[in-house]
Amino acid sequence: MRITTQMLQNSSIKSGITFNKTSLLDYMNDSSKAENFINSLANGSYASQKSSSILSSKNYKNLLEKSETLEKNADKLCKTDEKSDFATAKEKNDKKILNDNLEEFIKNCNEMLEALNSTQSAVDSYYAKTLKEVHTENKDLLSQLGISYDTKTGKLSYDIKKIEELDFDGISDTFGKLSSYTDKVKFIASRAIDNANTSLKSPSNIYNSKAQMSSSNGYTEYNSNLNHFDKKIG
């Protein structure tokens, strides 16, 4: 039976494969392209795979950026020595420095949570879940600084009026207790950075679109990440 371009086009339309300048008949007649094309048919359309790969890379680049920002901000926020922003704010009697830091921290926490949820990675989903748990565990402490936690969305919000009511001695006591919380947030961010970097190198070889492990090596790395993470957070 002779295969015509029109026949292949009809099959293509039914299968959802997107056309480009190279026709399907060209793929069939060119042995160098045939293997890749057949693999694409087996795993989904070529265009869909390419689009998925681009989206995955975009999500991980975004996660990397948000996680790095949060890691730096959490490290900055938990410092209470004489060179810290808290010490500077107290010396200048200027709470705006603290307000700006808290607002930035909350923004960064929320953005990293969104980025974790966007990758469809089992590891990142676990990190997102743990970040929410850390927020929940410190809910009462956070409220002392006007930070509230939404259990439905997992996001934080900030009421500037609360900190304005406190004197610097009261703020100092709360910030001292806050360091354990911010240290955990910083660690979660660092693990998200590692996972984003690993996934950017070869995202399709580590997780598939359903966030299941797609190779034995990936599965080993997945378990190793979580075991190390659990020990640190615990």
Q: What is the pLDDT of residues 30-62, one digit of tens each?
A: 555 555 544 554 454 444 444 455 568 899 999
CB distance 195 to 121 below 8 Å = yes
* pLDDT at residue 53 in the model: 57
Give Cα 78 to chain centroid, integer Å.
Answer: 22
State pLDDT tens for residues 131-140: 999 999 999 9
Higher pLDDT, 142 or 15: 142
| Res. 213: pLDDT tops 70 | no
* pLDDT at residue 155 in the model: 96
What are the sequence ranges of the domains in the chain?
Answer: 67-192
Question: 147 has which bridge partners?
Answer: 158
* pLDDT at residue 163 in the model: 84
Nearest partner of 86 among 161, 171, 159, 165, judged by Cα: 171
Averaged pLDDT score across all residues of the chain: 75
| Helix or strand holding residue 148 (H, E) | strand 147-149
* pLDDT at residue 188 in the model: 95
| Res. 162: pLDDT tops 90 | no
% of the chain at pLDDT higher than 70: 62
Residues contacting 35, CB < 8 A, separation 6+: none
Average of per-residue pLDDT across 141-165:
91
DSSP H stretches of helix in 121-167: 122-137, 139-143, 160-164
| Res. 227: pLDDT tops 70 | no
Confidence band for 167, pLDDT divided at 50, 70 and 90: confident
* pLDDT at residue 36 in the model: 56
Average of per-residue pLDDT across 17-27:
45
